[in-house]
Amino acid sequence: MVCRTNRALSALALLVAFAGTTHLLHAQGRPAAAMTLASNVRPERTVSALWVIRTADIVACETAAAELRRQLSQHGGSLQLTVLYLGGDTAVVHSFLRRERLASARVERGTERGLRRELADRAANLRTSPPLLVLSAAGVPQRVLFADVRTPEGRRDVDRLSTELNVMLSRTPMSRDVALTYYRGGEP
Amino acid sequence: MAYLSSGRGLDDYVDWKRDIVFRDTAASSAIKVFFDLAGYVVADGGQTRVRVYSPSAELIWSRGKPGPGPSEFMRLRSAVRTAGGEVIALDNAGKLVVYDSAGNYRTTLRTGLMPTYGVRLLDPSTLLISGRRAGDLDSPLLHLFDLRTGSVRSSFFTTPPHPPRFDAAYRFNGWANAAVIGRDTLAVVFALSDTLYLHRFDGSPIGKLPLRLRGFRPIRTPAPRNDSPEAEIEWRNSYTTMSDVFPGPDHSLFVQYFNEKQVELAWGLARVRLGAGGIEQEFDLPETLRLLGVSLPDYSLYFLRLDSLESVTWSVGQIAR
């Protein structure tokens, strides 16, 4: 097949969008359309997944696409997928999403520089290197997963996606309490 | 879904028989399928899984994950099933993993090839592996691997002549695939050449014939030297890749190729016949469905449709009489 596997790109973008600032992400030459992590989340108990990818991730054969398809299929409208593309022309990311049967995902553009600038002082304890999955509930980012399935660490993180989403999307009050405890850092 | 038609030009040539729907969110476009009377063996390179299905498309077993260990793959390429029911899967690092018919791991064989591109079962004890000898930039591209000795018996089909400025393209984007036609003949396609090469099973060349495919665009610019993925996409969008060749009914062949559009593949398919005067074309459809393979003995054609989040469809048909 036609995959690019042997080229490491050095560019590392700093994530991530904690706090949902409206000016966080900037498309090239103009602000992105009010793109915030919070803006994707409307009803309660809806989780948004923000998939941060670059062109280099797109041309790799192995991505988190299959796991995202599985989760979207399982959770239906409760899971909203947005792709934050750290690149220029979005034609390539739309092409990629059609290829991966994820064409319904919303696409936004951002820049690595913009992310770094906005988040430099918050990134110390965060995963910073794309591809990433940022999971938010009720507009509040809860988890950042490393989504590079070409690495053992990335595969481990993507394998956690199902568990993370199941907890975040739990529909019983008790489960929601458990989830809140879980995400506040205590033992459920 | 209402398929069983709309094969993008294929409807004029194919009698559609049935659609097989796999409720499978995992399956990626990077799959190769082996067909036999026992069902289907799917090598899903995107998911690094070997999946074995019954003829009615029920999943029987599934194995594999990324990694260097037993039953793990460094980019799964292809898989075949022997007459005895053993499934043999090939990865890009030249490793062959053998499972028994129930999916139990049996053994690992090393081919010494890397990268690899595909594998075909030539006879009960011989695999035809497409790939390069590890570390040999000028390696032949096709190799006969003897399952009894666990080693490559012979190699043949070197990269076709080309201008030196295309060396990188021919080395890194040039592969070969072959189909068995007749009792002792292989039809070979090379990724960057609009030509059909004929060889004996022992590798000796018989001849070559121009295909003259409508949708074929020859390579015109060297591979980009920088490390820009955008430049690579643009370059890959500029030429056609011959992807595979399959045996067809009535001494015909199906030749498959693709053009990249951004990162999607536009699949082309031609049916050709070897005549006294060279290649006779039955059809050439530059943008159609991807042909996954041809199952014998009835020459059923399996086409892939990847247009649903929840499922994957194979449309099955036969050449119209």
A3:B48 CB<8 A: no
d(CA A80, CA A71) in angstroms, rounded, equals 10
Residue B161 DSSP code: P
What was the ipTM of the complex prediction? 0.86
How close is the nearest chain B Cα to the Cα of A97, in Å?
9
Structure tokens, B313: 């469809």
At residue A11 the predicted structure's pLDDT band, cuts being 50, 70 and 90, is very low
Residue B164 DSSP code: G
Mutate to test the interface with A, among B22, B23, B24, B28 (most CBs of A within 10 A): B28
**B103-118 per-position pLDDT tens digit:** 999 999 999 999 999 9
d(CA A53, CA A147) in angstroms, rounded, equals 9
- Residue ranges in chain B whose pLDDT is less than 50: none
How close is the nearest chain B Cα to the Cα of A105, in Å?
11
pLDDT at A62: 79
Kindly compute the dihedral angle of the four CA atoms of residues A30, A33, A36, A42, in this order, to the nearest 10 degrees. Answer: 180
Average pLDDT over chain A reads 70
pLDDT at A5: 42
Is pLDDT at A170 greater than 80 in this prediction? no
**A143-164 per-position pLDDT tens digit:** 888 898 888 889 899 989 998 8
Please enumerate residues of A whose Cβ is less than 8 A from a Cβ of B.
Answer: 1-5, 7, 9, 54-56, 58-59, 61-62, 65-66, 69-70, 72-73, 87-88, 91-92, 94-96, 98-102, 104, 149-150, 152, 155
Q: What percent of chain A has pLDDT over 90?
A: 27
How close is the nearest chain A Cα to the Cα of B60, in Å?
20
Mutate to test the interface with A, among B1, B29, B263 (most CBs of A within 10 A): B263
For residue B297, cis peptide bond before it (omega within 30 degrees of 0) = yes
pLDDT at B239: 97
Is pLDDT at A27 greater than 80 in this prediction? no
Q: Which residue has the tokens 């370059």?
A: B235
At residue A115 the predicted structure's pLDDT band, cuts being 50, 70 and 90, is low
B130 close to A (CB below 8 A): no
B26:A4 CB<8 A: no
